[in-house]
Amino acid sequence: MDRSDQKETAGKLAAEYFGNGYHCAEAVAAAVLETMNEDSHSAVAHACAFGGGFGESFKEACGVLSGSLIVIGHLHGRSKRGESWQDAAKLGAEVTKRFVALHGTSNCGELRGRFGEEFQMDRCRDMVVQGVSSLVETLDQDVSAGANEQPCDATACSACS
C-alpha cells in the first residue's frame, strides 16, 4: 500500500475507532499500526492512559499527539539500553512541531475549549484523522539524515541551551 492509500485508509479507520471503543490516542495507534500490518495490541495498551490529555485530565498533551509518539516509539524506538534513540526523537520532534504549527498548542484542554461542548467529539475526530495523516507523512521522512542533530530547536528548548 502506498503512503497516499495508507493515509486515507488509516484516517478512515481512526475516525471509525474514535468514540467507538477507542479514545484519541488509542485510535491513532491502532489505525496507523494496523494499516502498516503491525500488531497494534501492545501500542493500544500503552496508549490507554494518554487519552484526554493524560488520564482524562484534559490538562496535558492531546491524545492525538500522544498516540503518534507511541507509534513512533513502537516503530523506531530502541529496544536495548545504550542504543541510539535519535531516529525516534527526530520523528517525535517533527510530529510535535507539525501538530503545534497547525493547532497553536498541544494542550488537550485548550483545544477542547475552542471546540465547545456541542462540537467537541466531531472536532476531536477531525483532529484524529488529521493527526494520522501527519504521522504517516512524518514516518515517510528519512530519519537517518541529520541523526546527529538535536531533536529540538535549541532556541526554544531549555534542555538544549
Q: Residue 150: what pLDDT?
A: 39
C-alpha cell at 145: 539524515
Q: Percentage of residues in the chain with pLDDT exceeding 90?
A: 81
Per-residue model confidence (pLDDT) at position 143: 59
Q: Where are the alpha helices (DSSP H) in 1-60?
A: 3-17, 24-35, 41-47
Distance CA 43, CA 132 (A): 15
Q: Which residue has the cell 528519512?
A: 142
pLDDT band of 146, cuts 50, 70, 90: very low
Axis crossing angle, helix 63-76 with helix 86-103, rounded to the nearest 10: 160
Give pLDDT tens digits for 39-89: 999 999 999 999 999 999 999 999 999 999 999 999 999 999 999 999 999
pLDDT of residue 102: 95
State the virtual CA torsion across 93, 45, 40, 74 in degrees, nearest 10.
30
Q: Are 28 and 135 in contact (CB under 8 A)?
A: yes
Mean pLDDT of the chain: 89
Q: What is the pLDDT of residue 157?
A: 37
Can you give the pLDDT at residue 117?
87
Q: Do residues 148 and 45 make contact, with C-beta atoms less than 8 angstroms apart?
A: no
